[in-house]
Structure 1
Amino acid sequence: MLRALEIHDMLIIDRLELAFQPGLNVLTGETGAGKSILLDSLGFVLGWRGRAELVRAGAAQGEVTAVFDLPEDHAAHAVLAEAGLPGGDELILRRVNTADGRKTGWINDRRASGEVLRQLSATLIELHGQHDDRGLLDPKGHRAILDEYGALQGKIETVRSAWKTRNAAAKALEKAQADLDAVRAEEDFLRHSVAELRKLGPEPGEEADLDTRRRMMQAAEKIRDDIGQASNALGYDGAEGAMASALRWLEGAAERAEGRLDAPIAALTRAMAELDEASRGVADCLDALEFNPSELEDTEERLFALRALARKHEVLPDDLATLAETLSARLNALDAGEAAIEDLKHELKSAEAAYDSAALALTEARGKAAARLDKAVSGELAPLKMDRAVFTTRIEEAPAGPDGRDTVQFTVATNPGAPSGPLNKIASGGELSRFLLALKVCLTEERDAGVTMIFDEIDRGVGGATADAVGRRLKALADSGQVLVVTHSPQVAALGGHHWRVQKHVKSDMTTSEVVPLTAAERESEIARMLSGDTVTDEARAAARALLAG
């Protein structure tokens, strides 16, 4: 509920403080007195896009503050939590507009963007009027209005879930098909490459081993001769034989040398052991250098084959084994691709069937809700002197989407046999006002409380008993909440629980507007003025008293 509205230096308002009440609040005044400025100012603090120039002439800045009472279950709490803003049972919105056009907003004393203000406004205020393209006159919102009226959120969530599953299945199939097509485009290459790699059978580290072996074999002939000469020099016909002979001679003479040969004999023994180890190492090297002459040719052939295949595939020789696994996997995917595609097609078909079923159920539910709404609106039109008019919620097929396959539009025919058409194009000004009011009365019965409804001259173009019926419908709306009505109708004004008059003053060539709450006597005078014009007659006062008496 809107509890208070403070306006400073906005257009022709110098300073204004209003305390609104629950129930039906009416604002009246002569044309041009500034009633629309109140709505402009309220729209400004709620972040609505409106007039560019709002600051009062000569002022540095204009400011609007709106205070709302929030029940515990009010939808505004979710918006505040999402934006990380403080909540509570009171919501204070404040917005400043400087003379150079800069706008700054606060929510409960925390800086906030215009977007957050607009999100909050959707939970706080509903504005209805003949030129309100944000509300009931906007066909883009009719489906959502019907869904809310029919309490169809559960079915909508089912459709959205089915749509999401369907899209995921379609994307999976599309990707798998694209992958398969890409593999098919290189099928010949894959099969040839995999066969070539399998035939060669490369192993990690093999290239380095082959290169080492090849270099050893290339040098083997030369070093083998040198090593063979060394082996002969170390053998029995060489150093080994000479040392063995020397050792025998020394050992034969040792007994007569009185110990002087013990050390030389020991050293020579050790030397022969070292010589034996050297001889074995040289012999092992000679054995390793033994190879079949064709082995060098085979080694070079495989080494060159590995390097050539690596160059062909632009990888390192050691990566050929990994490449073989990768290409084999892609080839296996090609071979298994058709079966996978068929599985994915089946999944998509099942997802589409689930979506079709959910969308059909939603369409049927919308049809039933539309029938109830049409009947309810027709029941409201009779008291508004439009019992011959026809209101129809038209549901037509639309492309599939997350909210089903339906477009919804509210249409009217003002006379029997006349063609029906969009609400905002067929009805005249007065008829449109009554259609909107009837529709709003029906919708409000199905909607959550806590939203302040504002009707901007919705009673324009009607009078007499029809205006009285309009007022009584507005009062019925206000009985369970808060309604603000800007009106020129005395019948509507007389039914208000709280009455303000908007009036304009000119002082020192400066025009200002003010809003004053009216006492019972002042209400009688104001309604009499609305009945008779500038000259208030006794008959007008009597008529005003009769209206106020109900």
Structure 2
Amino acid sequence: MLTALAIRDVVLIEALDLDFATGLGVLTGETGAGKSILLDALGLALGARGDSALVRHGTKQAVVTASFETPREGGAIAALLDENGLDMEPGEPLIIRRIVKADGGSRAFVNDQPASAGLLRELGSQLVEIHGQHDDRGLLNPRGHRALLDTFARIDPAPATAAHRAWRTAETALAEAREELDTQTRDQEWLEHAVAELRAFGPEEGEEETLATRRADMQRGEKIADDLQAIADLLEGSDGGLARLRQAARILERVGQDHEALGEALEAIDRAIIEGAEAQEKVDEAAAALAFDPAQLESDETRLFDLRALARKHRVQPDGLAALAQELSDKLERIESGGAGLAALERTLAAAAKSYETEADRLTQQRRDAAARLDAAVKAELAPLKLDAARFRTAIAPLPRDAWGPAGKDRVEFEISTNPGAPFAPLTKIASGGELSRFILALKVALAEEGGAATMIFDEIDRGVGGAVASAIGERLARLAGHTQLLVVTHSPQVAARGERHLLIAKSHDGTVTRTGVRALDDAERREEIARMLSGATVTDEARAQAVRLLETA
């Protein structure tokens, strides 16, 4: 609710600080005293257009600061601030400041953090409802009528919301599956060819490295095959080195005892024979490893070249061909079985749509029942407010299928007919501002505490009425104020007498400058102001006595 309003240099207001509380507060004053200026100033804090004409003559800027008490935890306001990156601790007041410059332009702050005028308008729609000549939100907006009706009837749309989410999820899944299947089906012929080709080739992971290594080994073996054979001939041939060493060893065995050096020579030759045999063994091992079969070499080269060509064709690495073959095979299998999958998704979608329609139809019936109760409640309020010729109805109409949503498939709008035989029309079609305000009051009383902002302002709701009608308006305003903070700009003494707090708006003139001021009235001042409202310019004793009676019966 609104707790404080500070105004600096707005039109005729030089400096004004007001405090507000719960219940019914009334603002009175003579015509032209500046009541509209007060509402214009509050409108700035609520995101209204920053018109430089509102800046008091001779000053550089106008400043309005409004403080609000908000719920301690969560709620739409906290969510809105969070969405816009603004911080507010739970339980802290919400302070909105708006600055309008005389040379054009404006700035806005929420809890001393820069904000846009658009955010102020969004916050304002949650914080304050203004009904009357400044009305641009609240019950006149058909977009909120369905939620108001649901709140009035305590309808829970959660099952329909969950069913709608399941329906849309199933719809999306089916659309994606169809799109994927259509894309894949266009490629089916290519897939069949590719899968057949890859299956026939049978690539294996790591095959390229195996083939390349084996091919390189055989190519090297081909190059040194003659050299290896020459080495073998030199080492082990009939006239090779090892054969000659063995012959020398046999001779030394016969003569080695004739001299010590010959024995040592025999030992050296034996060692040479052992080393030579080991060398021959290694040469034979290498020859075996590097041995090649021309037919095998040709086969490996062909396989390797075909493997690499296939990889280039599919734009993958050779080692990725095996995985690609499996992937394409799986995709082809999905295409071939895709019809069955689509049928299952279509059954899921149909079931989800049916479930949603069941829940939405339940909401529709609940709303129709609630609409009848609301219409009766509003009707009971119309006659005392001198609207006995008017009719009210809650119109419920089906939305087009593509507009069905989480809250059902109904369009709800409050409609009125102000004259017998006249067709029903939206609330905004009422010509008279006072008549509109009284209709809003009747609807608000019928809705009682259900829905709406924490602060409501009625601007001259009693315009053009008096006597019993004004008394009925005052009684209903007081009743409504039991559920919310209510501020009323009024010319009616019957309404003013119902207020729990009374603010007087008045002009003053020092010979040079005209100023508008607002002050709270004590009991004696309040009696005098109500007497003025009753009698006009000259306050009579009879008017004072009547003011006392009004205050006593309020």
Superposition CA RMSD, Å: 2.9
TM-score (norm 2): 0.89
In 1, distance between residues paired with 2:283 and 2:456? 107
Report what 1:339 is aligned to: 340
> Residues 446 and 310 (structure 1 numbering): CA distance in 2 closer, same or farther, change over 3 Å?
closer
**Contact 1:429–1:461 (CA<8 Å) still a contact in 2?**
no
Report what 1:456 is aligned to: 459
Larger mean Cα displacement after TM superposition, 21-30 or 355-364: 21-30
Pair 1:484-2:487 in alignment: yes
- The one-letter code matched in structure 2 to 1:503 is A
- The one-letter code matched in structure 2 to 1:415 is N
Equivalent residue for 2:109, pick from 98, 105, 112:
105
Matches within 5 A, 1:98-247: 98-99=101-102, 101-107=105-111, 110-111=112-113, 113-114=115-116, 118=121, 120-152=123-155, 155-217=156-218, 220=221, 223-237=224-238, 238-247=240-249
In 2, distance between residues paired with 1:73 and 1:210? 71
In 2, distance between residues paired with 1:132 and 1:191? 69
Pair 1:295-2:299 in alignment: no
Residue aligned with 1:62, SS = strand
> Residues 317 and 80 (structure 1 numbering): CA distance in 2 closer, same or farther, change over 3 Å?
closer
Question: 1:540 offset after TM fit, Å?
Answer: 5.0
Question: 1:323 offset after TM fit, Å?
Answer: 2.0
Residue aligned with 1:469, SS = helix
> Residues 3 and 307 (structure 1 numbering): CA distance in 2 closer, same or farther, change over 3 Å?
closer
- The one-letter code matched in structure 2 to 1:405 is K
Report what 1:15 is aligned to: 15
Residue aligned with 1:412, SS = strand
Residue aligned with 1:141, SS = helix
> Residues 21 and 220 (structure 1 numbering): CA distance in 2 closer, same or farther, change over 3 Å?
closer
> Residues 141 and 538 (structure 1 numbering): CA distance in 2 closer, same or farther, change over 3 Å?
same
In 2, distance between residues paired with 1:429 and 1:65? 28
Deviations 1:423-459 (A, max 9, x none): 11146434322211100111224359x9222111122
Deviations 1:74-104 (A, max 9, x none): 9588459844313437555544445453424
Residue aligned with 1:59, SS = coil
Report what 1:250 is aligned to: 252
- The one-letter code matched in structure 2 to 1:377 is V
- The one-letter code matched in structure 2 to 1:173 is L
Residue aligned with 1:393, SS = strand
Report what 1:414 is aligned to: 418
Instruction: State the percentage of identical aligned residues.
Output: 50
**Contact 2:50–2:106 (CA<8 Å) still a contact in 1?**
no
Equivalent residue for 1:474, pick from 473, 477, 492:
477
Equivalent residue for 2:408, pick from 379, 404, 415:
404
Deviations 1:493-546 (A, max 9, x none): 233232222112233432210112334444444334434544556665565455
Question: 1:277 offset after TM fit, Å?
Answer: 2.1
**Contact 1:40–1:51 (CA<8 Å) still a contact in 2?**
no
Pair 1:32-2:35 in alignment: no
In 2, distance between residues paired with 1:285 and 1:481? 101
Question: 1:382 offset after TM fit, Å?
Answer: 2.3
Residue aligned with 1:382, SS = helix
In 1, distance between residues paired with 2:270 and 2:101? 111
**Contact 2:125–2:138 (CA<8 Å) still a contact in 1?**
no
In 1, distance between residues paired with 2:158 and 2:275? 91
In 1, distance between residues paired with 2:228 and 2:71? 103
In 2, distance between residues paired with 1:444 and 1:358? 27
In 2, distance between residues paired with 1:20 and 1:132? 21
Report what 1:505 is aligned to: 508
> Residues 79 and 37 (structure 1 numbering): CA distance in 2 closer, same or farther, change over 3 Å?
farther
Question: 1:196 offset after TM fit, Å?
Answer: 0.7
**Contact 1:24–1:496 (CA<8 Å) still a contact in 2?**
yes
Matches within 5 A, 1:275-354: 275-288=276-289, 290-354=291-355
In 2, distance between residues paired with 1:135 and 1:544? 34
Larger mean Cα displacement after TM superposition, 69-78 or 190-199: 69-78
Pair 1:517-2:520 in alignment: yes
Deviations 1:186-223 (A, max 9, x none): 11111111111111112233234334444554565553
- The one-letter code matched in structure 1 to 2:433 is G
**Contact 1:130–1:433 (CA<8 Å) still a contact in 2?**
no
Question: 1:157 offset after TM fit, Å?
Answer: 2.1
- The one-letter code matched in structure 2 to 1:424 is T
In 1, distance between residues paired with 2:279 and 2:74? 98
- The one-letter code matched in structure 2 to 1:23 is G
- The one-letter code matched in structure 2 to 1:471 is G
Matches within 5 A, 1:366-377: 366-377=367-378
Count of matched residue positions in the alignment of Structure 1 and Structure 2: 544
Larger mean Cα displacement after TM superposition, 471-480 or 89-98: 89-98
In 1, distance between residues paired with 2:476 and 2:535? 24
In 2, distance between residues paired with 1:23 and 1:209? 90
Unaligned runs of 5+ in 2: none
Larger mean Cα displacement after TM superposition, 197-206 or 368-377: 197-206
Unaligned runs of 5+ in 1: none
> Residues 221 and 354 (structure 1 numbering): CA distance in 2 closer, same or farther, change over 3 Å?
same
Question: 1:30 offset after TM fit, Å?
Answer: 2.5
Residue aligned with 2:8, SS = strand
Deviations 1:257-294 (A, max 9, x none): 13x23433333222222211222233334445555443
In 2, distance between residues paired with 1:214 and 1:410? 88
> Residues 243 and 326 (structure 1 numbering): CA distance in 2 closer, same or farther, change over 3 Å?
same
In 1, distance between residues paired with 2:473 and 2:256? 146
Pair 1:433-2:437 in alignment: yes
Pair 1:88-2:88 in alignment: no
**Contact 2:62–2:101 (CA<8 Å) still a contact in 1?**
yes
**Contact 2:64–2:98 (CA<8 Å) still a contact in 1?**
yes
Residue aligned with 2:205, SS = coil
> Residues 281 and 96 (structure 1 numbering): CA distance in 2 closer, same or farther, change over 3 Å?
same
- The one-letter code matched in structure 2 to 1:494 is A
> Residues 474 and 74 (structure 1 numbering): CA distance in 2 closer, same or farther, change over 3 Å?
farther
Residue aligned with 1:261, SS = helix
Residue aligned with 1:6, SS = strand
Question: 1:133 offset after TM fit, Å?
Answer: 2.4
Question: 1:72 offset after TM fit, Å?
Answer: 5.4
